[in-house]
Amino acid sequence: RKEVEQDPGPFNVPEGATVAFNCTYSNSASQSFFWYRQDCRKEPKLLMSVYSSGNEDGRFTAQLNRASQYISLLIRDSKLSDSATYLCATLYNQAGTALIFGKGTTLSVSS
Amino acid sequence: DAGVTQSPTHLIKTRGQQVTLRCSPKSGHDTVSWYQQALGQGPQFIFQYYEEEERQRGNFPDRFSGHQFPNYSSELNVNALLLGDSALYLCASSHFKRQGRHQPQHFGDGTRLSIL
């Protein structure tokens, strides 16, 4: 059964800190991975897609380790506005675009 | 460019009732997926529609059914509502013929369903 598991939260960090989340997946055939950000009572919004070894976008870096079947999200120089829940996802199966999500990790950045 | 729109925003029902939720996909998208998100959980995949047919289905009972219309909009129907059906119901759209690495899903704001 496909499963996606994430680090338990919450993560409480000060502004400027570097924080990393891990996400493990059970289906070794998974090819595509996504990090979504979800603010309280809002819809998930795509933060980053990960298809090969990794991806970087400004302060955010995602890395994929196929051998150990995990992906990570690194946030550098945390801002107050980074406070949210971060959801890891992979494709439900390779035939479509539906997603299977982890439970999410909550990040709280304080001043 | 209109994003994914869902209606209604909030809904309160009682056990045993039936409910219909609606979704219009992002402009240019032809595939609609529905998810259920309980409090403190990640979204759970219900089913996906393309060309007016259910193409994929998650682990949800037959009480959950759907429909896609020729204009790509979609409905989610839930019969015989249970207390456990209380959740945020999210609709997401994508373009089926461009599946693969560059086709992430775009989500609507969701419908918050409360069962009393």
Q: Tell me the pLDDT tens digit for each residue of A55-111.
A: 899 999 999 999 999 999 999 999 999 999 999 999 887 667 789 999 999 999 999
Distance from CA of A8 to the nearest CA of B (A): 11
Q: Tell me the pLDDT tens digit for each residue of A1-21.
A: 558 999 878 999 999 999 999
The pLDDT assigned to A27 comes to: 86
Q: Higher pLDDT residue, A1 or B95?
A: B95
Q: What is the mean pLDDT of residues B17-23?
A: 98
The pLDDT assigned to B114 comes to: 97
The pLDDT assigned to B98 comes to: 59
B102/A contact by beta carbon, under 8 A: yes
- Yes or no: say if B116 and B14 are a contact pair by the CB < 8 Å rule: yes
- CB-side exposure of B110: number of CA atoms within 13 Å? 21
Task: Tell me the residue length of chain B.
Answer: 116
Torsion sign, CA atoms B33, B38, B40, B45: negative
A43/B contact by beta carbon, under 8 A: yes
Determine which helix (DSSP H) or strand (DSSP E) holds A48, and give its type and residue range.
Answer: strand A45-50
From the list B41, B45, B112, the residue facing A92 with the nearest CB is B45
Using CA atoms, how far apart are residues B85 and B109, in angstroms rounded to an integer?
18
Q: A42, B109: Cβ pair inside 8 Å?
A: yes
Going by DSSP bridges, is the β-strand pair A84-91/A99-101 parallel, antiparallel, or unpaired?
antiparallel
In the chain, the amino acid numbered B115 is I
Above 90 in pLDDT, residue A28? Answer: no
Q: Tell me the pLDDT tens digit for each residue of B43-86.
A: 999 999 999 999 999 999 999 999 999 999 999 999 999 999 99
Using CA atoms, how far apart are residues B20 and B79, in angstroms rounded to an integer?
9
Q: Examine residue A8 and say whether the peptide bond preceding it is cis (omega within 30 degrees of 0).
A: no
The pLDDT assigned to A98 comes to: 85
Q: Tell me the pLDDT tens digit for each residue of B2-15.
A: 799 999 999 999 99
Torsion sign, CA atoms B36, A1, B47, B72: positive
B107/A contact by beta carbon, under 8 A: yes
